[in-house]
Amino acid sequence: MKKQTILLVTLLLFAGSVFAQAPKYSNEFLSIGVGARAMGMSGAVVASDHDATAAIWNPAGLTHCQGDLQLAAMHAELFAGISKFDYATVATHIDSSRTIGFSIVRFGTDDIPNTLDLIDASGVIDYSRLSSFSIADYAFVFSYSKKTRTPGLSVGGNAKVINRKAGDFGKAWGFGFDLGAQYTTGKWLLGVTAKDVTSTFNAWSYNTELLEEAFIATGNEIPKNTTEITLPKLIIGGGYRTGLGDKFTLLAELNADFTFDGQRNVPISSDVISVDPRIGFEVGYSNFVFLRGGMQNIQQIKDVDGGKSTIVQPNLGIGVKIGKLSIDYALTNIGSKELLYSNVFSLRLEITKQKK
């Protein structure tokens, strides 16, 4: 058990140095997205997200938040409950054209057994020496958005602070910026988000004193302080919203994620740029109940016989709006190549000040 803990910590501590050389998927917990509504639509919401969750998807969308103040929260348990993904935000209008928001995102695995001191100096297993630790990623995001003088056009930006912790063994602090814009004309919706526009740098530091003796005894290299880099990502989306009769509405949206960190296993890929498409839809009835669906993670995989096949990840969701409260649910696969789906729940509450 001691060797297993050393191996786990070694992999975690060296993650930063690996990403510094090949920065794919750095700070990837922020690429998961937030809110069951968006996840049910496979994240294809960069043009149509007009509630508090836009702080993460496209900060420009905050200008469309209903009410004077809007609260949003989400909870998901992933990988059969091993990890937990939580999110909360508050957004409020400064005036008729400007909106600000503050969000907290946490992705973590808790109560990991630490068996480094399980065996005492005499070689006896002493369970009173057993402890636990958590591995968690945090993001603190301040958002600002503004309606421009061009009708239908809003712009926004995020300033975010990243904190990543691997128990007492290692931690990192990082800073980054996002920019976004949304444009609405008639039934058409257009949006663009540039994430980590200046690149986001996470500075890792390690408490090697806790592990130096064990690392030397097991032949592991002692990690050194390093920097992890998150390269920019561009997300472009277009959507169409229309009515279907007197009570039904339909929203369909197509997004494309452009990454610049080398070749990825996505439909359009090169040594420089990769393009990952996703599509989502939402059917509403009387602004009360909503059915959602989408497709993402289109990939080619090798079969046992050496051939190739294409796989697609479908997502489903449903939501209800009762007065100022929206309750959303999504069944989605987060971060797993296997068909391991998770339940995602989120709430949104609109608060309107009473007029005197």
Instruction: Compare 154 and 5 and report the one with higher pLDDT.
Output: 154
Q: What are the residue ranges of helices labelled H in 65-192?
A: none
Instruction: Compare 202 and 355 and report the one with higher pLDDT.
Output: 202
Residue pLDDT, tens place only, 35-91: 999 999 999 999 999 999 999 999 999 999 999 999 999 998 877 778 899 999 999
Q: How confident is the model at residue 54, as a pLDDT?
A: 96
Nearest to 156 by CA among 43, 238, 30, 54: 54
Distances (CA, A) of 107 to 94, 254, 279, 326: 30, 27, 25, 23
**For residue 23, what pLDDT band results from cuts at 50, 70 and 90?**
low
Instruction: Compare 253 and 226 and report the one with higher pLDDT.
Output: 253
- The total of other beta-carbon atoms located within 10 Å of residue 73's CB is 19
Domain 2-351 annotated CATH 3.40.50.740: no
pLDDT higher than threshold 60 for residue 2: no
Q: What is the CA radius of gyration of the chain?
A: 22
Return mean pLDDT, the chain. Answer: 86
Burial label for 138, CB within 10 Å (0-12, 13-18, 19+), is: middle
Pairing of strands 170-185, 131-147: unpaired
Q: Determine contact, residues 188/175, Cβ cutoff 8 Å.
A: no
pLDDT higher than threshold 60 for residue 1: no
Residue with tokens 């998961």: 32
**Least confident window among 187-196, 230-239, 310-319, 337-346:** 337-346
Residue pLDDT, tens place only, 164-216: 998 888 899 999 999 999 999 999 999 999 999 988 888 888 887 766 666 66
Q: What is the pTM of this model?
A: 0.84
Q: How confident is the model at residue 216, as a pLDDT?
A: 67
